[in-house]
């Protein structure tokens, strides 16, 4: 069976001292043994978090990495090989804030996915529709295009060591969570798209839901058959709330 994963995306939040406080809170959490837990701090604080969480069963990931795998002349970017070197195990790819605010295309997303994977990082591919796309009845089409572009470029086999996160843009940071049924519908479609290429592989791919996940809504979402955990933004900045979400994934 798929092991649940809960990852906290801290986005562009934190200072040296607030990160130290959050590490202290995370260290004190009682975490369920059957759930993988990860946090994704801003790049600047990754080493601080890795050192601060040493010995605690929480993985550390990054929120973005470069299109090229190895270090070199690419000002302002971080190579996935550098992230692996400091101890990161995963990286978000194609978060909607990067697609929509920074104009990251499907092509760039595929390149980042491949570069990250070639360095041993697990890419967490983020997909999801905007409110206008949902209202136009295009949700499944948009998500299928975003996922399909990576499958077309890299082959479905790339998903043997990857995670997919469905994050409806209208639910991110808005307090509007997709209903468990709305989320399940899209998760089932994602799994079916993977299964159309390789049924056995599709059964093992972890699909996370993200978008205003809170402790109060987590258990019901994670109880759906194709939802294998969460990608948590705002609520992951509060250690106790994040711990409660992790425990919901273990119940
Ligand atoms: P919120 O949980 O703050 O809605 O953010 C979700 C998200 O974008 C995680 O990547």
Q: Would you state the pLDDT for residue 132?
A: 97
* For residues 147-157, average pLDDT: 98
pLDDT at 44 over 90: yes
Q: Mind listing the pLDDT tens digit for each residue in 92-101?
A: 999 999 999 9
The three-state (H, E, C) secondary structure of the chain, written as one string: CCCCEEEEECCCCCCHHHHHHHHHHHHCCCCCCCCEEEEECCHHHHHHHHHHCCCCCCEEEECCCCCCCCCCCCCCCCCHHHHHHHCCCEEEECCHHHHHHCCCCHHHHHHHHHHHHHCCCEEEEEECCCHHHHHCCCHHHHHHHHHHHHHHHHCHHHHHHCEEEECCHHHCCCCCCCCHHHHHHHHHHHHHHHHHHCHHHHHHCEEEEECCCCHHHHHHHHCCCCCCEEEECHHHHCHHHHHHHHHHHHC
Tell me what the mean pLDDT of segment 225-243 comes to: 98
Q: Give me the catalytic one of 97, 104, 129, 167.
A: 167
- Residue ID of nearest Cα to ligand 1 atom 9: 233
177 alpha carbon to ligand 1 midpoint, in Å?
10
Any ligand 1 atom below 6 A from CB of 8: no
- Report yes or no on whether pTM surpasses 0.85: yes
Average pLDDT, the chain: 97
| Per-residue pLDDT at 1 | 80
Query: What mean pLDDT do residues 118-123 have?
Result: 98
Nearest CA to ligand 1 atom 2: 233
Which residue's C-alpha comes closest to atom 5 of ligand 1? Answer: 233
Q: Give the position, in ligand 1's atom list, of the atom nearest the Cα of 211.
A: 4
**pLDDT at site 88:** 98
Segment 72-84 mean pLDDT? 98
Active site (annotated) includes residue 95:
yes
Q: Is 232 in the pocket of ligand 1 (CB under 6 A)?
A: yes
Q: Across residues 86-108, what is the average pLDDT?
A: 98
Q: What is the pLDDT of residue 23?
A: 98
Instruction: From 61, 101, 213, give the residue whose CB has the most ligand 1 atoms within 8 Å, as the site to mutate.
Output: 213
């Amino acid at each position: 069976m798929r092991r649940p994963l809960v990852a906290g995306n801290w986005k562009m939040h934190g200072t040296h001292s607030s990160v130290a406080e959050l590490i202290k809170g995370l260290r004190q959490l009682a975490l369920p043994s059957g759930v993988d837990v990860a946090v994704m701090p801003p790049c600047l604080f990754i080493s601080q978090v890795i050192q601060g969480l040493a010995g605690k069963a929480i993985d550390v990931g990054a929120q973005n990495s470069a299109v090229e795998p190895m270090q070199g002349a690419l000002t302002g970017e971080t190579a996935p090989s550098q992230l692996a070197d400091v101890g990161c195990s995963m990286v978000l790819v194609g978060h909607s804030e990067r697609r929509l605010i920074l104009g990251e295309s499907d092509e760039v997303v595929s390149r980042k996915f491949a570069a990250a994977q070639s360095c041993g990082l697990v890419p967490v591919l983020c997909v999801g529709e905007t409110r206008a796309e949902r209202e136009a009845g295009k949700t499944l089409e948009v998500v299928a295009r975003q996922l399909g572009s990576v499958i077309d470029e890299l082959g479905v086999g790339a998903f043997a060591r990857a995670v997919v996160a469905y994050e409806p843009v209208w639910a991110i940071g808005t307090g509007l969570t997709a209903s468990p049924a709305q989320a399940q519908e899209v998760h089932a479609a994602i799994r079916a798209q993977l299964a159309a290429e390789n049924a056995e592989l599709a059964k093992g791919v972890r699909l996370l839901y993200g978008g205003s996940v809170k402790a109060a809504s987590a258990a019901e979402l994670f109880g759906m058959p194709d939802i294998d955990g969460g990608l948590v933004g705002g609520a992951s900045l509060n250690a106790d709330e994040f711990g409660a979400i992790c425990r919901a994934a273990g119940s």
